[in-house]
């Protein structure tokens, strides 16, 4: 049976010591109550619920899965009670707007809890996760009347939210969406169509389900410029704002799939269901992007959460499993063989996972801090600058975290040998659960295209220019820090490579658009590794200052893990750079008939 312990010490290191997030947030009047002590207490309490109530349902939920019977979806045993405990404890409303009953805590805190929740149980995390995304779209784009009716129940978690984009013939290319919306003439619209793969489209956890649906008005232009966004409740709220008349939204079936089996993935049929326009007509996709961007970050966090829980279980196994003697001399002569942990190859797999996890955690919390700044900083320029950073980093977090999450859950499975392949050990579930994050919410290939085609070039390249300036500024600020130079130099080399490659891509991409597509996935990885190198340099700098004081073992391990990152993982940037520069022709010159 796998286990999980929330990485509270490392989260506190990132939040308090590395980012000094408390001081940054204290500049924002809305968060004056989010004192460091309160944040620590919230993390402690969250950890208890996730470890004691939600994680124990992970393996059984995978085995049992969701059940479908005549339109009714039943989640695995224990999920309803756990969801009730989650809602009653106020965990869904933590970062919610106080105007709608939320607790108004920073997103930064919510991100840290999200990592723990996804480690404990990814399937469970998806139900409240999509609700949070739907809340952000409704808050940003719906009119006041809709907000008054729906937000309070959704913030509390008693009603949930879904995201209805995908149709059988329209996945990545949402311009092909066919679901129709006709004006009823009374402020509502009749929505007709079928959506597939809808996470939480039907479930037995909440009193009502609020679907956010992309559909087309009769006179809408073709393509993405003719899509509108509608709010379609399962039950229409009555005069007391309780679930009333049943709307004609039904679940046709649920999918049988590779992982996240306790999360319902539904075919949803809308048969002239009553819906309400959110945002302007024909601007639905850009409104939906508010939800999609929130989800993309949350899905990246799934890679980190699974990487962490897989690492913890692989370490426990490697300590206890005795196989062979160490090549450099017996380490445990009193035992029949040495523990797996003595073997360099086992350490390679464990440290790869750990180094990615800790770098990713720092990047995630820093990004969340920028989300808070982008919403609440008193200076408009500071808000805009923070928003640029979040926008640039979002595809990187979504794709890189989910890619490494899958790679590393597989590495950790490998540590368990044959037992890693057996269900009861939990590792094969982590691998299966990790795989979907590379696919949904815009595949990782599409994230990479978003980075190279859009984020690098919008506003005349303002986003990468500001980010690179930040990195260059950091490098300059640490030139006199002698102890840091070995790491700073390697980070700077990777940074120069990234900068030169970005320049190369902007030139080659103008000559041949396929050059951007050919480079995209490798470029995103190189970008992510360089960004992690920035965080690793910063983490080592903090740890070097503290390694001789209290908790020296923690700081020394931090430095050693960082050394591993620089020595074994960052060098990938060179091969990625060389692969990208080999050009699109290697793929595009192959005749279609040759495939
Ligand atoms: C378990 C699960 C849960 C899901 N939950 C939801 C949900 O809640 N709501 C929802 O609306 N959808 C949901 N989805 C759908 C998911 O977001 C889509 O499957 C995903 O976006 C990809 O679309 P597709 O499957 O149609 O693949 P396609 O779009 O057909 O893509 C197939 C392949 O082609 C590549 N590709 C496509 N276009 C391009 C291009 N222009 N350039 C380069 N490569 C390209 C893709 O990267 C991919 O590798 C879910 C899917 C699953 C499996």
Tell me if 492 sits within 8 A of 363, measured CB to CB: no
Distance CA 299, CA 571 (A): 26
Q: How far apart are CA 490 and CA 100, in angstroms?
A: 48
Q: How far apart are CA 341 and CA 415, in angstroms?
A: 9
The Å distance, Cα 533 to ligand 1 centre, comes to: 30
Indicate whether 66 belongs to any domain: no
Predicted confidence (pLDDT) per residue in 136-167, tens digit: 999 999 999 999 999 999 999 999 999 999 99
Residue with CA at minimum distance from ligand 1 atom 4: 197
What distance in Å separates the CA atoms of residue 582 and residue 399, rounded to the nearest whole number? 23
Q: Domain for residue 131, yes or no? A: no
Please provide the DSSP assignment of 301-329 as one string.
HHHHHHHHHHHHHHHHHHHH-B-S--TTS
Tokens of 136: 């952000």
Inside any domain, residue 250: no
In sequence order, which residues have a C-beta less than 8 Å from that of residue 236 and are 6 or more positions away?
244, 245, 246, 247, 274
Q: Which residues share a beta bridge with 209?
A: 160
Ligand 1: atom nearest CA of 445 is: 47
Distance CA 187, CA 54 (A): 41
Cα 440 versus chain centre, distance? 11
Residue with the smallest CA separation from ligand 1 atom 21 is: 442
Query: Is 551 a domain residue?
Result: yes
> Is 146 inside any structural domain?
no
In a domain, 142, yes or no: no
Residue-level pLDDT at 70: 96
Closest Cα to atom 11 of ligand 1: 165
Instruction: Assess if residue 82 is contained within a domain.
Output: no
Q: How far is CA 23 from the centre of its chain?
A: 25
Give yes or no for residue 532 CB within 6 A of ligand 1: no
Ligand 1 atom with minimal separation from the 162 CA: 8
CB distance 188 to ligand 1 below 6 Å: no
Please answer whether residues 191 and 181 qualify as being in contact, where contact means their C-beta atoms are separated by less than 8 angstroms: yes
Asked if 501 and 525 count as a contact pair (C-beta separation under 8 A), the reply is: no
Establish whether residue 259 lines the binding site of ligand 1, counting it when its CB lies within 6 angstroms of any ligand atom: no
Question: Please, which residues have CB within 8 angstroms of residue 72's CB and are 6 or more apart in sequence?
Answer: 202, 204, 251
Ligand 1 atom with least separation from CA of 163:
9
Domain count, the chain: 1
Residue-wise pLDDT for 366-392, tens only, equals 999 999 999 999 999 999 999 999 999
CA-proximal residue: ligand 1, atom 30 (nearest): 171
- 265 CA distance to ligand 1 centroid (A)? 14
Q: Would you state the structure tokens that stand for residue 217, as one six-digit string?
A: 């008005």
- The token duo for 361 is 């955690």
Closest CA to 433 of 309, 328, 554, 547: 309
- The finding on whether 172 has its CB within 6 A of some atom of ligand 1 is yes
Ligand 1 pocket check: which of 128, 160, 164, 166 to mutate, most ligand atoms within 8 Å of Cβ?
A: 166
Q: Distance from the CA of 262 to the center of ligand 1, in angstroms?
A: 20
Q: pLDDT 10s digit of each residue in the chain, 595 long?
A: 899 999 999 999 999 999 999 999 988 999 988 999 999 999 999 999 999 999 999 999 999 999 999 999 999 999 999 999 999 999 999 999 999 999 999 999 999 999 999 999 999 999 999 999 999 999 999 999 999 999 999 999 999 999 999 999 999 999 999 999 999 999 999 999 999 999 999 999 999 999 999 999 999 999 999 999 999 999 999 999 999 999 999 999 999 999 999 999 999 999 999 999 999 999 999 999 999 999 999 999 999 999 999 999 999 999 999 999 999 999 999 999 999 999 999 999 999 999 999 999 999 999 999 999 999 999 999 999 999 999 999 999 999 999 999 999 999 999 999 999 999 999 999 999 999 999 999 999 999 999 999 999 999 999 999 999 999 999 999 999 999 999 999 999 999 999 999 999 999 999 999 999 999 999 999 999 999 999 999 999 999 999 999 999 999 999 999 999 999 999 999 999 999 999 999 999 999 999 9
Tell me what pLDDT residue 31 has: 95
Distance CA 373, CA 24 (A): 9
Is any ligand 1 atom within 6 A of the Cβ of residue 198?
Answer: yes
Q: How far is the CA of 179 from the centre of ligand 1 (A)?
A: 17
C-alpha span between 320 and 478 (Å, rounded): 42
Q: Quick check: CB of 437 below 6 Å from ligand 1?
A: no
Mutation test residue for ligand 1: of 161, 172, 442, the one with most atoms within 8 Å of CB: 172
Q: Compute the distance between CA of residue 47 and CA of residue 415 in angstroms, rounded to an integer.
A: 26
- Residues with catalytic function: 441
Decide if 73 contacts 264 (C-beta within 8 A).
yes
Question: Are 231 and 210 contacting, i.e. CB atoms less than 8 angstroms apart?
Answer: yes
CB of residue 199 inside a 6 A radius of ligand 1:
yes
- What range defines the domain where residue 334 resides? 291-585
In the reported structure, the alpha carbon of residue 446 is separated from the centroid of ligand 1 by a whole-number distance in angstroms of: 9
What tokens were used for 545?
């200052």
Contact present, 262 and 64 (Cβ < 8 Å): yes
CA-to-CA separations, 326 to 314, 401, 519, in angstroms, rounded: 18, 33, 42
Ligand 1 centroid vs 172 CA: distance in angstroms?
Answer: 5
Per-residue confidence (pLDDT) for residue 4, from 0 to 100: 98
Distance 275 CA to ligand 1 centre (A): 25
Instruction: Indicate whether residue 446 lines ligand 1 (CB < 6 A).
Output: yes
What number does the ligand 1 atom closest to the CA of 443 have? 47
Q: Please give the Cα distance from 188 to 272 (Å, whole number).
A: 11
Within 10 Å of residue 30's Cβ, how many Cβ atoms? 15
Distance between Cα 369 and ligand 1 center (Å)? 29
**Are 471 and 442 a contacting pair, CB within 8 Å?**
no
- 3-state SS record for 437-482: HHCCCCCHHHHHHHHHHHHCCHHHHHHHHHHHHHHHHHHHHCCCCH
Q: Is 194 in the pocket of ligand 1 (CB under 6 A)?
A: no
Q: How far is CA 489 from CA 18, 355, 363, 484, 523, in A?
A: 20, 19, 20, 9, 21
Question: What was the pLDDT predicted at 1?
Answer: 87
Q: Is 262 helix (H, G, I), strand (E, B) or coil?
A: coil
Please give the Cα distance from 126 to 291 (Å, whole number).
Answer: 14
Domain for residue 349, yes or no? yes
171 lines ligand 1 (CB under 6 A): yes
Is the distance from the beta carbon of residue 16 to the nearest atom of ligand 1 less than 6 Å? no
**Half-sphere exposure for 195 (CA within 13 Å, toward CB):** 30
Residue nearest to atom 2 of ligand 1 (CA): 197
Question: Where residue 376 sits, what CATH number does that domain have?
Answer: 1.20.140.10
Query: Which residues share a beta bridge with 266?
Result: 198, 254
Q: Is the CB of 197 under 6 A from ligand 1?
A: yes
- Give me 116's structure tokens: 């723990």
- What pLDDT does residue 209 have? 98
């Amino acid at each position: 049976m796998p286990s999980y312990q929330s990485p509270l010490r490392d989260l506190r290191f990132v939040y308090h010591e590395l980012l000094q997030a408390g001081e940054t947030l204290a500049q924002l009047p809305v968060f004056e109550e989010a004192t460091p002590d309160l944040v620590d207490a919230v993390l402690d309490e969250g950890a208890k619920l996730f470890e004691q109530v939600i994680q124990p349902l992970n393996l059984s939920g995978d085995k049992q899965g969701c059940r479908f019977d005549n339109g009714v979806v039943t989640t695995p045993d224990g999920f309803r009670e756990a969801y009730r405990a989650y809602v009653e404890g106020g965990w869904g409303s933590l970062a919610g707007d106080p105007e709608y009953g939320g607790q108004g805590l920073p997103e930064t805190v919510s991100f840290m809890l999200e990592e723990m929740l996804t480690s404990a149980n990814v399937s469970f995390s998806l139900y409240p996760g999509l609700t949070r995304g739907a809340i952000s779209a409704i808050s940003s784009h719906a009119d006041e009347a809709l907000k008054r009716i729906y937000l309070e129940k959704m913030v509390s978690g008693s009603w949930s939210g879904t995201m209805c984009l995908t149709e059988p013939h329209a996945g990545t290319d949402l311009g092909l969406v066919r679901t129709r919306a006709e004006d009823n003439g009374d402020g509502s619209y009749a929505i007709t169509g079928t959506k597939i793969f809808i996470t939480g489209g039907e479930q037995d956890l909440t009193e009502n389900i609020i679907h956010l649906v992309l559909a087309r008005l009769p006179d809408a232009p073709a393509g993405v410029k003719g899509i509108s966004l509608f709010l379609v409740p399962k039950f229409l709220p009555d005069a007391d704002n309780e679930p009333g008349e049943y709307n004609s939204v039904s679940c046709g079936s649920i999918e049988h799939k590779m992982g996240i089996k306790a999360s319902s993935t539904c075919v949803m049929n809308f048969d002239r269901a009553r819906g309400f326009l959110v945002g302007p007509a024909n601007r639905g996709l850009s409104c939906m992007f508010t939800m999609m961007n929130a989800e993309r970050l949350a899905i990246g966090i799934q890679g980190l959460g699974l990487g962490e829980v897989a690492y913890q279980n692989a370490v426990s196994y490697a300590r206890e499993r005795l196989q062979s003697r160490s090549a450099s001399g017996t380490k445990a002569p009193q035992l029949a063989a040495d523990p797996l942990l003595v073997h360099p190859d086992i350490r390679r797999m464990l440290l790869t996972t750990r180094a990615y996890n800790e770098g990713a955690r720092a990047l995630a919390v820093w990004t969340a801090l920028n989300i808070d700044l982008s919403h609440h900083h008193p200076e408009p320029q500071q808000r805009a600058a923070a928003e640029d950073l979040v926008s640039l980093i979002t595809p990187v977090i979504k794709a890189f975290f989910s890619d490494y999450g899958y790679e590393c859950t597989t590495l950790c499975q490998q540590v368990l040998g044959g037992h890693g392949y057996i269900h009861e050990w939990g590792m094969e579930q982590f691998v299966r659960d990790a795989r979907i994050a590379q696919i949904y919410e815009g595949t990782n290939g599409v994230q990479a295209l978003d980075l190279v085609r859009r984020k690098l070039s919008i506003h005349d390249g303002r986003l990468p220019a500001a980010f690179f300036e930040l990195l260059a500024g950091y490098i300059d600020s640490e030139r006199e820090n002698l102890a840091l130079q070995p790491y700073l130099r390697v980070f700077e080399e990777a940074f120069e490579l990234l900068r030169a490659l970005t320049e190369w891509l902007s030139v080659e991409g103008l000559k041949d658009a396929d050059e951007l597509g050919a480079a995209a996935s490798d470029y995103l990885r190189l970008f992510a590794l360089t960004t992690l190198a920035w965080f690793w340099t910063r983490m080592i700098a903090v740890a070097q200052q503290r390694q001789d004081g209290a908790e020296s073992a923690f700081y020394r391990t931090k430095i050693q893990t960082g050394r591993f990152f620089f020595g074994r993982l960052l060098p990938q940037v060179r091969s990625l750079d060389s692969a990208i520069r080999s050009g699109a022709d290697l793929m595009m010159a192959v005749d279609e008939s040759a495939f």
